[in-house]
């Protein structure tokens, strides 16, 4: 495994463990969330990605990934339907005007679930479309078959299946 692959594996494992309930980890010192309005949250409805190169990102998610457009508000805002979630691309300054993530700096990772056989098929489809894979699909010790690659802004994308 490459150094990059080892770092990705360690980060993915840490993220998986960090999201596990304390009971799964056997940690009785972590308190359960207090009852209240925030416990009513059941899922993530949409994710907004602040794109550095909006044209390249629109082309990547619409043409390479093939996600159907849910709503195209204009050049600075587009929503794609990905299962039950909206993946939204926008430009800095449209709503929030924080400093942009520096070029070459990772700002997020998105993971898309498919069946086990589809992980390898997705890898082949991405390669045919000229997308460089970070590593070939492989079974990971945390119980996923994974495929990692990047979007035009450098964000890490993962296609995975439970083993």
DSSP string, the chain: --HHHHHHHHHHHHHHHHTS-HHHHT-TTSPPPPSSGGGG-----EEEEEESSHHHHHHIIIIIS-PPEEEEEETTEEEEEETTEEEEEEETTSS--PPPPPTT----EEEEE--HHHHHHHHHHHHHTTPPEEEEEEE-TTSEEEEEEE-TT--EEEEEEE-
Please check whether residues 113 and 79 belong to one and the same domain: no
67: domain CATH number is: 3.10.180.10
Task: Look at residues 93, 118, 152 and tell me which one is the last residue of a structural domain.
Answer: 93
Query: 25 lies in a domain?
Result: no
What range defines the domain where residue 129 resides? 107-163
Query: 34 lies in a domain?
Result: no
| Tens-digit pLDDT string for the chain (163 aa) | 455 444 444 444 444 444 445 444 455 566 677 788 988 888 899 999 999 999 999 999 999 999 999 999 999 999 999 999 999 999 988 888 888 888 878 889 999 999 999 999 999 999 999 999 999 999 999 999 999 999 999 999 999 999 9
Please check whether residues 79 and 114 belong to one and the same domain: no
Number of domains in the chain: 2
Query: 12 lies in a domain?
Result: no
């Amino acid at each position: 495994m490459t150094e990059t692959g080892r770092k990705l594996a360690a980060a993915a494992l840490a993220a998986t463990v960090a999201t596990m309930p304390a009971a799964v980890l056997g940690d009785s010192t972590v308190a359960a969330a207090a009852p209240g309005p925030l416990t009513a949250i059941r899922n993530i409805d949409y994710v907004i990605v602040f794109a550095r190169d909006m044209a390249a990102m629109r082309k990547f998610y619409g043409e390479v990934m093939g996600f159907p457009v849910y709503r195209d508000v204009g050049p600075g805002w587009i929503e794609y339907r990905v299962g039950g979630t909206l993946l939204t691309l926008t430009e800095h300054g449209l709503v929030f005007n924080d400093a942009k993530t520096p070029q070459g700096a990772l700002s997020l990772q998105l993971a898309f679930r498919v069946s086990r056989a589809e992980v390898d098929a997705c890898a082949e489809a991405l390669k045919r479309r000229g997308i460089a894979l970070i590593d070939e699909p492989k079974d990971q010790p945390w119980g996923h078959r994974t495929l990692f690659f990047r979007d035009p802004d450098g964000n890490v994308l993962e296609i995975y299946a439970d083993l």
